[in-house]
Structure 1
């Protein structure tokens, strides 16, 4: 019996961070604003790294850049909130993606568990107790145990190739009037929109 050939270890080439990010942008994600508060200081960051982890116990995760000035508050806060943005909240997403002395200026919000800010009219909210943190490269992965949530059942905001988009529920659209013909028209429209988005990214 011949011995199996020895496996050769291949040293991976260094991955270009920009190219790697472009590859990841092919995966559509929802858009969230994660918030927390400690004392009188409150913070919020736009994040698309939100993900479910476990149903029992109910755990979710998201990640934050280690260089973020908001991390100090997230690290000290007992709770945080995940605001899952609705399709018409792209401006709010942009406001919390930029550096600002007071991102909450003129932004209506209430307070959830641990004082974490909650924005009205989102698709959903999750209030979480800090569960654990994982040191992962240039980010910290933060896990939260969900203690309360609200589902408004509205169309969510979606991020694809650095462009914010909307997702239409085919079933609702078809049943509002038009049936299969409306759904087919919608499919053609979304295909054209996707091609336009790719061309836009190519230009800029």
Structure 2
């Protein structure tokens, strides 16, 4: 039996499906990452919350980007990318890389390592990856990367996305901890 707050959405009612599906997915907290790469000396990056580990042996991760994303195209050209798991105090970086602003990298601190892709300073963890596969699914691509190197900065709280809000820990709609 459904509780009072529970709502079922029928696929027969297309006007509600998208809205209700987004609301249902928003009940799952995710980390906030920025995918970065470099092509022909130009840096590219996009904010992504659709990120997960995939396998341990070999170490692989997956992330999803829109088919219209310039970062997706750049990653497919470069065949390498980094996943930067943002820290709690880096909401401004998440918002910057979610925007269409030019020269985003001029506004942040980053370094380069083995794959020569931007690694955002202060991130909770970074993964340097070789693109293994890009799978198109409707409006997005699932990028699978083999992790060639990674770093962890212990003791940092991650930036999260929950119920449509960015914050530290689990920030709900009534939570004022947004950074």
One fold, TM greater than 0.5? yes
Provide, for residues 29-53 of structure 1, a one-character-per-residue CA deviation record: whole Å limited to 9, x for no partner. Answer: 0000010111111100000001011
Q: Residue 3 of structure 2 corresponds to which residue in structure 1?
A: none
Gaps of 5+ in 1: 1-10, 168-189, 198-204
Q: Residue 93 of structure 1 corresponds to which residue in structure 2?
A: 94
How does 1:98-137 map onto structure 2 within 5 Å?
Answer: 98-137=99-138
Gaps of 5+ in 2: 1-9
Provide, for residues 106-163 of structure 1, a one-character-per-residue CA deviation record: whole Å limited to 9, x for no partner. Answer: 3111113432100111111111111111111110000000000101011111110111
Give the structure with the higher percent strand.
Answer: 2
Question: How far 1:194 moved relative to its partner?
Answer: 4.1
Kept after mapping to 2: 8 A contact 1:37/1:114: no
Q: Residue 160 of structure 1 corresponds to which residue in structure 2?
A: 162
Provide, for residues 164-190 of structure 1, a one-character-per-residue CA deviation record: whole Å limited to 9, x for no partner. Answer: 1212xxxxxxxxxxxxxxxxxxxxxx8
Q: Distance in 1 between matches of 2:90 and 2:57?
A: 31
Q: Residue 42 of structure 1 corresponds to which residue in structure 2?
A: 43
- TM-aligned CA distance change 1:163 to 1:147, over 3 Å: same
Q: Distance in 2 between matches of 1:145 and 1:139?
A: 20
Q: Between Structure 1 and Structure 2, whose CA radius of gyration is higher? A: 1
Q: Which has the higher contact order (CA 8 A, sep 6+)?
A: 2
- TM-aligned CA distance change 1:26 to 1:106, over 3 Å: same
How does 1:1-204 map onto structure 2 within 5 Å?
Answer: 12-13=11-12, 14=14, 16-153=17-154, 154-167=156-169, 194=172, 196-197=174-175
Provide, for residues 6-55 of structure 1, a one-character-per-residue CA deviation record: whole Å limited to 9, x for no partner. Answer: xxxxx953473232112111100000001011111110000000101100
Q: Distance in 1 between matches of 2:27 and 2:168?
A: 15
- Give the TM-score, by structure 1 length: 0.75
- Give the TM-score, by structure 2 length: 0.84
Give the structure with the higher percent helix.
Answer: 1
Q: Distance in 2 between matches of 1:88 and 1:195?
A: 18
- TM-aligned CA distance change 1:122 to 1:40, over 3 Å: same
